[in-house]
Structure 1
Amino acid sequence: MCYFDHQLWPCGWWKWGNFREQCPKEYRTGETCGLKLIFNTYLEPEPCKMCDQIDKKQRRLNKMMEDVRRWRNEGNRRATIEKTETEMRALNSQIGTMWVEHEARKNAISY
């Protein structure tokens, strides 16, 4: 039961921080017993790295949707629209995968 700092972001994402205190169970200097307890939690004000990446991809997807809507009104850009729609599907899939990873990490115990 060694004590570590804990970082927590507003979305629920978290990670272990620095080692703070050794428990009496472990007698070797510099070693930890393997059980991690929270010594202090630091709340981070900015979004986590994963949320930031998801947000960037979402903005790119929104821009593509706006472009396709504009191109459909202009007409005569069929190939461009098809290519962009393919990219949009791939980007949407990436965003979904990233959200699944984010939720799995958020609810994990051992990271």
Structure 2
Amino acid sequence: SKEARRLNTACQEETILPDELNGGTFTVSNLGTMGIESFTPILNIPQVAILGVCNISLKPIMKDNEIQFIPHIGLSLTFDHRAIDGVPAAKFLQELNMVIANFDLKQVKLQ
């Protein structure tokens, strides 16, 4: 939507107003663009969760008795245990992992 693009631009240009950041329940913090491989984001109270997105790197795996390299992205979820239990939070990360692992760029429609 136009509003989402406007807010994204305002964040990138550091012109977003504090009132425009209020009322959220979930934050995504992307330090991957800065080459960060791992971090633990701090919860923005009163929000219930924040997802930290790390950089994409090549991870060695063993497959068919050979070392192969696959793309790997680190994710870190910090959440308020008063609102979310550990098991549903872990299931969310599992589902997100599955979506990312099976992502097909050909299905994305760029505008």
TM-score bin (small chain) = under 0.3
- Which structure has the larger Rg? 1
Q: Which structure shows the bigger proportion of residues in strand conformation?
A: 2
Which structure features the higher share of helix residues?
1
